[in-house]
Amino acid sequence: GDCKNQLSEATRRIHEMDLDIKRQQTDREELTAAYRESESLSKQEVAKAQRLAQE
């Protein structure tokens, strides 16, 4: 009946939300890794520029 339909619809929506959360967590991890990598490269460039300035 109607209750079963509502329950299955709610279950389906919860499942979709879980998938969304997992996708967003993956995106966040990828963005965090990219940020850390660019931060590291930036620090290397700053250090290189400082060394060149001292020569």
pLDDT, tens digit, for every residue of 1-55? Answer: 899 999 999 999 999 999 999 999 999 999 999 999 999 999 999 999 999 999 9
What's the predicted TM-score (pTM) here? 0.70
Distances (CA, A) of 13 to 4, 23, 27: 14, 15, 21
pLDDT in tens, 12-25: 999 999 999 999 99
The domain segmentation of the chain, as residue ranges, is 1-54
**Token digits of residue 12:** 């389906």
State how far the Cα of 38 lies from the Cα of 30, in Å rounded to an integer.
12
Q: Which helix (H) or strand (E) holds 1?
A: none
